[in-house]
Amino acid sequence: MAKITEKHSALSKVGKYTFEENKPKAFERKNTTESSYRVYEDGKVGIFYHWGQMDDEEGFAKAVAVPDRARPYPFEPENGGTRSRDKTECTVTDRELMEMGDAYMEYLTSNYPDFIFAGDVKAEWMRQTLTNSLGTDFSNTDFAVSAGFRFKHRNSRDLMDGYFSFSLRKPDDGTVFRTMADLYLANFGTPAEIPEEIILDMQYYGLAGSLAGELNAEALALGTSRLAGKIGEKVFADDFSLVHDAGDKECWFSRFWDGEGSVLPEDKLVLVENGVIKTGYSDKRVAAKYNVPYTRTAAHNYSDLTSPGGLNLRIPRSEKTVKELLAGRYAVIPVSATSSPADANGDTSLVLTTSLLWDGERVVGRLPEFKVKANFFDMFGKDFIGVGSDDPIYNDKQILIRVYRVK
């Protein structure tokens, strides 16, 4: 194989305005450049990872400078051609960001004087690129404004009572922030009763991530996954599917290529379809070693070889809104909660230190601390209710699952 050079890089610019105890604390800037220089030759790759500016010639030279650290790579690098994706919708100046933060804090302190707030507003721009000497020239550019605030009631003995956050590609007139703040805080002091049937209403990234861990093709092949031997079997609910979607417009700063420069057809890989496990996910090494399907899903590892990963997980939405999925029942919004890792049987516990009861539109009040249990298989099986078609309270996708109270 002739020598092939490849460069992965990420350029990011972040501005952050922070608050402590209701007052501005700092304005922070962070501009970073991160590069991975890779030189492929004779079934090996030399890798040099660098933070900061560097001349490319020097970076590639360093990638081959330490021969005993060259890593085996008996695969062809990709020639993906040219593709550029720009998801940015606007830019925000430092001054605009600070005005936004001040307006948010003014709203919180004026409307909710019984609380103490801390947090930040942040504007982040990032361009990620992949180029190689075979002709690949990829780039992805994105920008988001995010806000996150911790809150504590002045009478609380806890260090904090809760946290809410959201991200937007383009700042709105403050409606998203005010709606979220009101939902979390307006009825925080109103006691509510724990319902008989407990339905959790959460953002699903953590849950989907733990499920994805079980779909790593290497773990499936070696038998250390709870889903080993179940490819092609129906394991989960009829209406539960799981997709790696590199084109998901609702994901921030995601790339359409994987850590090895591969691109999926239509940017999608279906992992679970209507409850049936369709495939694990692999990179080139794992696919070759275990003779399993190659799914173009290598994590982005700038400093070493890849491994399977780097997923943008999406559970397809139901056609029903959250309120329609609840069908007159109440759901529990975890505000401050801690879960245990699933044990060998897939059982897990969750302590809901602070949570809110709501009907899909309106928060009824705050629940006392309680504990629930759930099972890994059941959360996506008999206890899966759905992902709403709308984004209430979190301004993001949310999953409804049934869990069981532990007295």
Partner 1 sequence: MSQKYRFPEGLYADIRIEENCTAQLVKFNGELVRDKMQTEAGALIRVYDGKLWYTTSTNELSEIQKELDALAELATPNPDIFEDPALKLLEVNTDERLQYEDRKLENIERERFLRVLDHYAGLCEAENAPEKTTWAATINGEYLKKSFYSAKGSAITYDYQLCSAGAWCTFVVDGQPTEGGRQFFGVVPEDLFGNEDIVKAVFARYIDYAKNAVPIEPGEYTCILSPIATAMFAHESFGHKSEADYMLNDKVLRDEWVMGKKVGSDLVTIVDSGDLPNHGYVPYDDEGTKARETKLITNGVLTGRLHDSNSAATLAEELTGNCRAQDYGRSPVVRMTNTFLLGGKDSFEDIVADTKDGIYVYAVSDGTGNSTFVLNATVCYRIRDGKICEPVRVRMLTGSVFQTLFDIDRVGSDFTMFNEFVCGKMGQSVRVSAGGPSIRVKKLQVS
Binding site for partner 1 (CB under 8 A): 18, 20-21, 24-33, 47, 49, 51-53, 68-69, 71, 116, 152, 154-160, 222-226, 228-229, 303-305, 307, 336, 338, 340-341, 343-345, 347-349, 351, 353, 369, 371, 373, 406-407
* Tokens (6 digits) for 274: 């209507």
Residue ranges of the alpha helices (H) in 87-216?
Answer: 94-111, 175-185, 205-214
Coil, strand or helix at 207: helix
**How far is it, in rounded angstroms, from Cα 51 to Cα 63?**
14
Nearer to partner 1, 270 or 305 (CB): 305
**How far is it, in rounded angstroms, from Cα 43 to Cα 66?**
16
CB of 158 to partner 1, least distance (A): 5
**How far is it, in rounded angstroms, from Cα 339 to Cα 354?**
13
Nearer to partner 1, 263 or 287 (CB): 287
Residue ranges of the alpha helices (H) in 223-307?
Answer: 284-290
Nearer to partner 1, 68 or 319 (CB): 68
* Tokens (6 digits) for 288: 């070759």
CB of 97 to partner 1, least distance (A): 13
Nearer to partner 1, 79 or 303 (CB): 303
Nearer to partner 1, 101 or 171 (CB): 101
Rg (CA), the chain: 23
CB of 307 to partner 1, least distance (A): 7
Nearer to partner 1, 301 or 312 (CB): 301
CB of 68 to partner 1, least distance (A): 6
Q: How many helices (H) and strands (E) does the chain have?
A: 8, 19
CB of 153 to partner 1, least distance (A): 9
CB of 101 to partner 1, least distance (A): 11
Nearer to partner 1, 157 or 249 (CB): 157
Q: Can you tell me which residue has the tokens 């060259």?
A: 70
**How far is it, in rounded angstroms, from Cα 314 to Cα 300?**
19
Residue ranges of the alpha helices (H) in 241-332?
Answer: 284-290, 322-326
CB of 325 to partner 1, least distance (A): 28
Angle between helical axes of 175-185 and 94-111 (0-180°, round to 10): 30
